[in-house]
Amino acid sequence: MSKRDYYDVLSVNNSASEAELKKAYYKLAKQFHPDQNPDNPEAEKKFKEASEAYAVLSDKEKKAAYDQFGHAGVDGNMGGGFDSNFSFDDIFSNFFGDSSPFGGGGGRRNNNRGSDLQYEVSINLEEAYSGKKLKVDIPTQIKCDDCNGTGANKGSSPITCPMCNGRGQIRSQQGFFSVQQTCPQCNGKGEIISDPCKTCRGTGRVQKNKSLMVNIPKGVDDGSRIRLSGEGEAGLNGGQQGDLYIFVTLKRHPLFIREDENLFSEVPISAIDAVIGGTIDVPTIDGGKARLKVPAGTQSGDQFRLKSKGMPSVRGGRVGDLYIQAKLETPIKLNKKQIELLESFQEISSEDETPLKSEYFKKAKEFWKTRK
């Protein structure tokens, strides 16, 4: 079943301000929160749908990806921005802190999520063109095998928190309202460790290098970010895993300059080819060559387009173009015969053959007259 448009979910348009998004989510969250609608699957579904929409649209980077690519741009399976394992209660608590305005429900909260990690990879333009699989070794915190991430020593188990009796939250009366807050002793887990694991010292995780295969998609650009959900640091005492962000940088290429999906290349053209025309072979990013017809009278800076010889779009389908910019090369180290021939050519040349030069010096003469 396809997801609803996030803007439709919150009943806002795509130019809605941060305040408008927050107001729209606040209204839906209060209406459909499970504490207000116990044993109502439809209300719970709508609450989660609103929370998911707000989680994306309230984040500038995720919103930009969603606006450009739709749900595909924030799908965790594509290295996008939305994490299907995120906590809806965490989103809701951004409005109300650790307390619920409804007094009941709730349950345990786990605030021990592992940290997100960043890793930078540098690839060349050819690899960005064809895509690449890279093995990366990342120093990180992983789940402790000896205690299976619980933080408790072998033969023991975490015990129920005596302050909240395992609920992870405590309730207090403030005037007419009953306010529920995260338990400060167990940090919302409902359990505490009385006999910590000797290997991880009760944290449930240990330092280790982790090897991963990262898929760099075709068409990736300099500065692109690839998100691998759940590949960051392990959480404390079994908490949620963080994410890994791969930042891609492109090495400078000796022949091509990239702008979006288009490539640009400055190609030297001989004076003879520029004057009388000719045909040259130019390299293309796929490792091949393309035949370029240089028309007679080509000037330095003239640009020629080779369609679909650029970079593929990371979204698929479209391929950019290759633009060849002519750079006239003046001959050097001429022999006597060549110089004589050029001098003879100059003697029989007229201003009509060099209109740009003639026009320039015409303007120069007028300028000099005004300065006298």
Domain extent listing, the chain: 1-97, 257-371
- CATH code of the domain made up of 1-97: 1.10.287.110
Beta strand 322-329 pairing with 303-306: antiparallel
Range among 75-84, 204-213, 342-351, 356-365 rated most confident:
204-213
Whether the pLDDT of residue 177 is over 80: the answer is no
In order of 23, 49, 73, the CA distances from 56 in angstroms are: 15, 11, 11
pLDDT tens digit sequence for 135-161: 999 999 999 999 988 889 988 888 898
In order of 156, 207, 210, the CA distances from 150 in angstroms are: 10, 16, 20
Whether the pLDDT of residue 285 is over 90: the answer is yes
Helix (H, G, I), strand (E, B) or coil at 305: strand
Q: What is the mean pLDDT of the chain?
A: 84
Confidence of residue 278 (pLDDT cuts 50, 70, 90): very high
Burial of 255 (0-12, 13-18, 19+ CB in 10 A): middle
User: In the CATH hierarchy, which top-level class contains the domain 257-371?
Assistant: mainly beta
At 103 the pLDDT is 45
At 281 the pLDDT is 94
At 287 the pLDDT is 93
At 306 the pLDDT is 96
Tell me the average pLDDT across 39-58: 88
At 176 the pLDDT is 59
At 11 the pLDDT is 93
CA distance 274 to 338: 17
Tell me the average pLDDT across 17-29: 89
Confidence of residue 40 (pLDDT cuts 50, 70, 90): confident
Side chain identity, residue 105: G
At 249 the pLDDT is 92
DSSP for 172-240?
EEETTEEEEEE-TTTTTSSEE-SSB-TTTTTSSEEEEEEEEEEEE-TT--TT-EEEETT-SPPPGGGPP
Confidence of residue 348 (pLDDT cuts 50, 70, 90): confident
Residue of higher predicted confidence among 326 and 366? 326
Confidence of residue 4 (pLDDT cuts 50, 70, 90): confident
Confidence of residue 32 (pLDDT cuts 50, 70, 90): confident
pLDDT tens digit sequence for 67-112: 776 776 676 544 444 444 444 555 555 555 444 444 444 444 455 7
At 78 the pLDDT is 41
Element (H, E) at 151: none
At 71 the pLDDT is 73
At 85 the pLDDT is 42
CA distance 290 to 254: 18
Tell me the average pLDDT across 302-314: 94
pLDDT tens digit sequence for 224-271: 888 888 899 988 877 888 999 999 999 999 999 999 999 999 999 998
* Percent with pLDDT over 70 in the chain: 87
Q: Which residue in this structure is represented by tokens 């679909």? A: 308
Rounded (10°) angle between helices 18-32 and 88-96: 110
At 189 the pLDDT is 80
Tell me the average pLDDT across 302-318: 91
